[in-house]
Amino acid sequence: QFFITESDKPNGKTIEQQMFVLRKLIEQGWRVAGLTDDDAYMCSLSSETVVYKGQLTTEQVESFFLDLQSPMFTSYVALVHSRFSTNTFPAWHRAQPMRMLGHNGEINTLRGNVNWMKARQGVMRCNSLSVTERTLQKLLPIIPKEQSDSGSFDSVLELLV
C-alpha cells in the first residue's frame, strides 16, 4: 500500500489524470517484468473512488473491510456487486465491480470493439494528459489481454473520463 499526495499540477494535469498515468505506467512495468493481471492487479488508484474486491457475500463486506465501519468514512453512494466472475474463470481483474462500473450482462460485440480500440491506439492523442509520445505508448494497451467484456468496457470508459 502506498499514499499519494497532490502537489502542483504538472502541465495542468488533475490529480486523477496523474494517478491514471501512474497506474498505467506501474502496470506496464509489471508486464515488462513478466507479470500478468493474475499476478498483480491494482483495483483502483483514485482520489475519488475506492474499489473493494473480495470473494464475499454481501453480508460479509462491512465486517471484512474494517474502514467501512468507521463513522469518519463517508460516501455519497456505494455499490455492491455480489457476483464473482460467473461466466469466466475466477480472477481478481475480472471480478466486479471494475474501476469505473459494475456491469451485469454480456457485451456481444466484444471482439469488434476490442479490435476498433487497437486500431485507434496508433493514432491516439490526449492533450489533456500532457504526456510525451513515448509515455503515451507505455499506457497501452488500453484494453489489456484476457480482459472480460465488462473489464474491456471499463478500461475504455476510464480513458474517456
| pLDDT digit string, tens, across residues 24-68 | 899 899 989 999 888 888 888 888 888 888 777 888 888 998 988
70 pLDDT band, cuts 50/70/90, is: very high
d(CA 94, CA 59): 21
d(CA 96, CA 80): 9
Peptide bond into 71 cis (omega under 30): no
Assessment of whether the complete model's pTM goes beyond 0.75:
no
| Residue 4 near residue 21 (C-beta atoms within 8 A) | no
Task: Report pLDDT for 54.
Answer: 79
| DSSP letter for each residue of 28-48 | HHHHHTT--TTT-------SS
Three cell numbers at 74?
463517508
| pLDDT digit string, tens, across residues 74-107 | 888 877 776 655 555 666 666 776 777 777 666 6
d(CA 24, CA 71): 33
Three cell numbers at 26?
506501474
CA-based nearest residue to 158, from 136, 137, 143, 138: 143
